């Protein structure tokens, strides 16, 4: 599993490196991958807890599924970042939940035990307010508002997400 986590981080770093020459230098981040690497962390994979089994969501709706699960269970925190499995060895923009111990509860992907996760934990109120304003699930790719997390240091407050 360590190899998979290392590969995930290496892919994110490679994407950032590719963007470095093509972005304005006054921006705080070289894209959402850079934001995630600077503000996120690796989370621990585990077998999907039976308690949440009947609340699994549809494939390809990870942002909706993770938000809905975190709304239903306040002990879970919404996380947005990247995941990579041995079946699909590419860094994929993904949303999931974590429990208070930092263990992943992923209502979308079925093989979470064999998946590496790296992401940023978001305050539930911030996530809900962003979704209501934009009518769009997903926090990092918020093109509706000009990607405030990525472009304006003053566009968000540190309390809206948890750093490393």
- Asked if residue 22 lies in contact with residue 81, where contact means CB atoms within 8 angstroms, the answer is no
pLDDT for the residue 154: 45
pLDDT at 158 over 70: no
pLDDT for the residue 96: 98
Averaged pLDDT score across all residues of the chain: 91
Number of domain units in the chain = 1
Length of the chain counted residue by residue: 164
- Asked if residue 104 lies in contact with residue 40, where contact means CB atoms within 8 angstroms, the answer is no
User: Which token pair is 79?
Assistant: 């996380």
Q: pLDDT of 13-26, one tens digit each? A: 999 999 887 766 77
In 3D, which of 145, 57, 151 has the Cα closest to residue 95? 57
Q: pLDDT of 116-148, one tens digit each? A: 999 999 999 999 999 999 999 999 999 888 888
pLDDT at 98 over 70: yes
In 3D, which of 146, 11, 1, 157 has the Cα closest to residue 81? 11
pLDDT for the residue 62: 98
Mean pLDDT value of segment 77-95: 95
* Angle, helix 32-39 to helix 2-19, in steps of 10 degrees: 130
Residue 152: DSSP 8-state: -
Q: pLDDT of 59-75, one tens digit each? A: 999 999 999 999 999 99
- Asked if residue 112 lies in contact with residue 45, where contact means CB atoms within 8 angstroms, the answer is yes
Q: pLDDT of 22-49, one tens digit each? A: 766 778 888 999 999 999 999 999 999 9
pTM of the model: 0.93
pLDDT for the residue 111: 86
In 3D, which of 137, 128, 80, 115 has the Cα closest to residue 5? 115
Beta strands in the chain (DSSP E): 41-43, 77-85, 92-98, 104-105, 115-122, 161-162
Q: How far apart are the first and last CA of the chain?
A: 20
Range(s) of the domain holding residue 61? 2-162
How does residue 81 score in pLDDT terms, banded at 50, 70 and 90? very high
């Amino acid at each position: 599993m360590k190899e998979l986590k290392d590969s995930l981080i290496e892919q994110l770093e490679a994407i950032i490196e590719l963007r470095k020459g093509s972005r304005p230098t006054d921006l705080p981040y070289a894209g959402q991958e850079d934001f995630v690497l600077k503000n996120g962390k690796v989370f621990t994979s585990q077998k999907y807890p039976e308690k949440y089994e009947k609340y699994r969501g549809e494939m390809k709706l990870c942002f909706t599924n993770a938000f809905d699960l975190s709304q239903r269970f306040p002990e879970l925190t919404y996380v947005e970042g990247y995941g990579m499995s041995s079946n699909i060895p590419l860094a994929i923009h993904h949303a999931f939940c974590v429990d208070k111990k930092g263990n992943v509860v992923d209502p979308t992907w079925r093989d979470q035990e064999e998946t590496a996760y790296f992401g940023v934990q978001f305050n539930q109120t911030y996530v809900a307010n962003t979704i209501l304003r934009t009518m769009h699930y997903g926090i990092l790719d918020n093109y509706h508002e000009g990607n405030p997390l990525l472009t304006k240091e003053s566009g968000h407050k540190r309390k809206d997400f948890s750093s490393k």
